């Protein structure tokens, strides 16, 4: 079974697909600046990061190294604080 999805958060579009039980491939696009990046990351880290993005906690700073590894390399494409 393949799971594919798209989430739009402000100017960012995140298109993802589950590659296997441990990996998700996602492409994030910034509509305002036209920047784009594709990554393959740990599935549980991506799910946790996406959960934070969809339900932000005021003042939360991401210090968990696992969550950081799910973020895009380009700082302008980050979808959590």
The neighbouring-strand residues paired with 13 are 8, 29
More confident residue, 53 or 5: 5
Q: What strands, in cross-sheet order, belong to the sheet with 36-42?
A: 4-9, 12-20, 23-30, 36-42
Quote the tokens at residue 70.
């799910």
Structure confidence by residue, pLDDT tens digits, 48-64:
888 888 887 666 666 67
| pLDDT value at residue 54 | 85
| pLDDT value at residue 58 | 66
The residue ranges of every structural domain in the chain are: 4-72
At residue 42, does pLDDT exceed 70? yes
Sign of CA dihedral 76, 12, 62, 48: negative
| pLDDT value at residue 52 | 84
């Amino acid at each position: 079974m393949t799971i594919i999805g798209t989430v739009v958060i402000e100017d960012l579009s995140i298109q993802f697909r589950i590659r296997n039980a441990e990996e998700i491939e996602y492409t994030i696009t910034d509509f305002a600046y036209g920047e784009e990046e594709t990554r393959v990351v740990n599935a549980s880290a991506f799910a946790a990061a996406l959960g934070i993005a969809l339900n932000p906690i005021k003042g939360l700073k991401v210090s968990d190294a696992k969550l950081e590894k799910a973020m895009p390399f380009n700082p302008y494409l980050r979808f959590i604080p």
